[in-house]
Amino acid sequence: MNSKAQSLKVFLSQAGRVALVEVAATKGSTPREAGAFMLVSASAIFGTIGGGQLEYMAIDKARQILGGRSRPRSPANEARIEVDEVCATLDVPLGPEIGQCCGGRVEVLIRLVDASLEQQLIAKAESEEAHLPHVYLFGGGHVGQALAASLALLPIHVVVVETRSDALEGMPETVETRLTPMPEAVVREAPAGSAFAILTHDHALDFLIVAEALRREDSAYVGMIGSKTKKATFRNWLLKSAEGSEAQFGRLVSPIGGNAVNDKRPPVIAALAAAEIMTALVSHATEAPSSAGADKAMAG
């Protein structure tokens, strides 16, 4: 499994001289929030501050500080820029002057990365990674593979759980895989606020895992792939044989991804389910008490 923190370490170890480009402050509508950052070397980029002309200007200025060639830009009055040998501050209005119509204003801080700042960046990335919401995906079939690929792009920790070793082959490198004969036990070990997507090759196994997940009142999402008939059959089994309740059943999302789009191709189901899961995670995090000691932006 390759994490963002590991990718950051690799970038910093191979990039040579690097500049940190960080959104220090925002006003109005802007592409990214304060604290968003990217790293710029003479030939590579890690991360983003939102793209568009703002990002191009910041990259140019970062490479100017690094000693690289800065491409000519629009007239100087498009942004107020203060520069010295190791840092620069850009105060940029996001209007027609730079061809960006967000309407807000962004202050960007650019500075060279020294050993101390490098360690701060790595520590921040590792801390954020440790607090990512967990998504447990049970089943590595066609839809499971597609959903794992979609979820791997998101700021979450994805765990694919399978009883078959061959079904775990070819998973994205940022996804954790677990091979176990008792996948329902993984549900009990999951941290609070986790999401569970169940789509194994065996309906009976699906039922066992879903029932276990629905007993977790602290879960953010419990979804099962299937038809109306499968959902009705599960309800009957849950209430009569698994000591479940109507309240528990009411928390089940099935089919995953909803039924607004009548398309059963695995990548389409995966895209819809990934959006559904991410929405549930964000909603759950908003409702939960904010964690104390959250990392502050590195600006200033």
Chain-centroid distance of CA 8 in Å reads 15
Q: Which range is least confidently modeled, 91-95, 164-168, 171-175, 222-226? A: 91-95
3-class SS shares of the chain: helix, strand, coil, % to 5: 40, 20, 40
Radius of gyration of the chain (CA): 23
Q: Is residue 10 part of a domain?
A: yes
Tell me the mean pLDDT in the region 158-175.
96
Count of the separate structural domains present in the chain: 2
Name the residue range of residue 280's domain. 132-286
Same domain, 70 and 37: yes
- 291, 127, 185, 199: CA torsion to nearest 10: 90
Question: Residue 29 and residue 175: Cα distance in Å, rounded?
Answer: 33
Instruction: Count other Cβ atoms within 10 Å, centred on residue 43.
Output: 9
Please report which helix (H) or strand (E) contains residue 27, including its range: strand 19-27
Per DSSP, what are the bridge partners of residue 105? 27, 93
List, for residues 255-300, the tens digit of each pLDDT value.
999 988 989 999 999 999 999 999 999 999 888 654 434 444 454 4
* pTM for the model: 0.82
Q: Is residue 142 part of a domain?
A: yes
Q: Which residue has the tokens 């991360």?
A: 47
State the burial class of residue 94 (Cβ atoms within 10 Å of its Cβ: 0-12, 13-18, 19+).
Answer: buried
b/e map of 140-163 (b: 16 or more CB within 10 Å)? bbebbbbbbbbbbebebbbbbbbb
Among 127, 147, 177, give the residue marking a domain's end: 127
List, for residues 56-92, the tens digit of each pLDDT value.
999 999 999 998 544 444 444 445 555 556 788 998 8
Per-residue pLDDT at 49: 94
Same domain, 176 and 248: yes
Question: Given phi > 0 = left and psi -120 to 50 = alpha, else beta, which region is 243?
Answer: left
List, for residues 22-62, the tens digit of each pLDDT value.
999 999 988 899 999 999 999 999 999 998 889 999 999 99
Please report which helix (H) or strand (E) contains residue 115, including its range: helix 115-130
Q: Is residue 300 part of a domain?
A: no
Instruction: Share the mean pLDDT of the chain.
Output: 89
